[in-house]
Chains A and B, each alone.
Chain A
Amino acid sequence: MMDTFLHRLGFAVVALFLAGPLIIVAGVSVNEKQSLTFPPEGFSMAWYEQIFTDPGWRAALVASVLLAALSAALAVLIALPLSWFLWRRIAPWANVFRLLGVAPFILPPVITALGLLTFWATIGFYGQPWTAVISHAIFFVTLPLVTLSLGFSSIDRSLVEAAATMGADDRLVLRTVVLPLILPYLVSGYAFAFVLSLNEYIVAYMTVGFTMETLPIKIFNALRYGYTPTMASVSVFFVAIAAVVFALIARFGDLPRLLGAMASDES
């Protein structure tokens, strides 16, 4: 009895620590007046409307969503052929490219950001919006790469062999057997990259920070000039997007397995 009580207490403390700041922000975001007070004074959803009606915030939202949608798609386009090749062929040296794909994610982000800044500045495209799409795709290619590699490794090779024995060539096997099997992993890879790109600050700031405002850049710029409640409502909005996306992944995919728990089929 004592044990389960202590366990519950432990979970509650961690939950409170993780949720605490977000609860305060959610409270602040419904203040009626433009003031930073908690508990909120009055109740108003006006600051949520602001995200969509204020031209500045709306432009930042559109920029962020476009950037995230395009860069995640490009990341998947890079990761899919690479992970297919590594699964289909015996070519140990090709693992170098897997390493290159994972490196930007493991190193401190400021390094990738600075590398891309010097690169775009050197070839003269610094500040073009499309450079952010490529930069984010490279920065987040790790995520679809990891989920797709996991997806390919889970394919039962006898299925593929059966198809090949029946006379299907590589292309046909890919379309009719492999792609349907890895689709959940492809979607989760895209979703992970999408959500992280939406929230990313430093790479976006260093590549297009002076010509385009994504939402994180907009929040930080606004933070320097003082407080507006829209920051709070945007933050809550972003937490909600992330929670919905990950809940969908959990609903339609195997989240414990995606996060590396191979033993999940036993439980």
Chain B
Amino acid sequence: MRREPPRTIADYTPLAFPAIMLIIFFVVPFSTMIAVSFFRRQQGGFYTPDFVIDNYGRFLSAFFGGVLGFSLMLAIMVAVICVAIAFPFTYLLTKTSRRVQIVWLVCLLSVLSLSEVIIGFAWSTLFSRTAGITNLLVAAGLMSEPQALLPGFGAVLTGMVYQALPYTILVLYPALVRLDPTLLEAARTLGASPLRGFINIIVPALRNTIVATLIMVFVFALGSYLLPQILGRPQHWTLSVLITDQAIYQSNMPFAAAMAVFLVLISLALVGLTLLVGGRREATA
């Protein structure tokens, strides 16, 4: 029973249910959203079919520019910090025994699956005045009295790194596991220290993986919508928060949809770039 092209209509039947579900509940909603982004907003939260580009025109405001700039900057910082920590960590992880690896993978998956609400709540507790980390510093005699470390930019950044770090490790894991161990052995035989071998051999060999991971973590961080609200002030709100805010609280669906379309375009461009980088990796390998 080899793979063969479908010949009769009956051969296509398994495809029917998945195709119908994905088209009705993903393609149609997605198109609806694009359509709504051109609709005209009415007072009271309604909108009427129309073709206006006013919703996109609002992108030119200084406020939107500020939010967009902040979102991109925050996502870039999260991506760089996560890869800088995760790359050496994942490399060391792949050198440990299979048992140790599995325990770590279970823990990482558990943290990764945590709701953003729970992560936000956990960090807001850790940064709080009454139950927070500053109490430990006071106990150790490093501070005179406990204080709240939130809301603030540091808290938002920490929370988002916490959320994205397990993701980064799990994205890097397959590439690093499959890395040819003889590469480093050769460097060691030629007299390089493990650290030197890591920096001069492993990092350049996986340059494209690192770039692709940076982009994926960047897109992942762009999607964070609750942490900036729980851990930050309104000036720390990102595009994702603004979209939710416009859709739910300001009842301005067309503007929210326009921003979402814009976010899709940024993400798609970056995912495309990742595929391009990945494709080149396979071409050169």
Contacts and interface: CB of A to CB of B under 8 A. Distances in A.
B32 to A, nearest CB: 5
Contact of A38 (B98, B135, B162): B135
Q: Is the interface of B mostly helix, strand, loop or mixed?
A: helix
A154 interface: no
B222 A238 contact: no
B117 interface: yes
Contacts of B110: 239, 242-243, 246
Contacts, number: 263
B15 interface: yes
Contacts of A161: 1-2
A202 B130 CA distance: 29
Contacts of B21: 78, 134, 137-138
A18 B111 contact: yes
Given A38-B131, A81-B15, A246-B106, A115 B33 contact: yes
A91 B18 CA distance: 15
Interface residues on A, range: 35 or more
Given A36-B125, A81-B18, A263-B177, A88 B106 contact: no
A37 B6 contact: no
Contacts of B121: 25, 219, 223, 231-232, 235
Nearest to A89: B6
Contacts of B222: 108
A261 B33 CA distance: 38
Q: Could you say which interface size class chain B belongs to?
A: 35 or more
A186 interface: no
B123 interface: yes
A116 interface: yes
Contact of B244 (A15, A202, A217): A202
Interface of A: 3, 7, 10-11, 14-15, 17-18, 20-22, 24-25, 27-28, 35-38, 77-79, 81-82, 84-85, 87-91, 94, 97, 100-101, 103-104, 106-119, 121-122, 134-135, 137-138, 141, 157, 160-161, 163-164, 170, 173, 195-196, 199-202, 206, 209, 215-217, 219-220, 223, 231-232, 235, 238-239, 242-243, 246-247, 250, 255-256, 259-264, 267
29 contacts: A14-B85, A17-B162, A18-B166, A25-B121, A81-B15, A82-B18, A88-B3, A89-B3, A90-B3, A103-B26, A104-B26, A107-B264, A108-B219, A108-B222, A111-B260, A114-B33, A114-B260, A115-B33, A118-B32, A161-B2, A216-B118, A219-B118, A220-B226, A238-B114, A243-B110, A246-B113, A260-B173, A260-B177, A263-B177
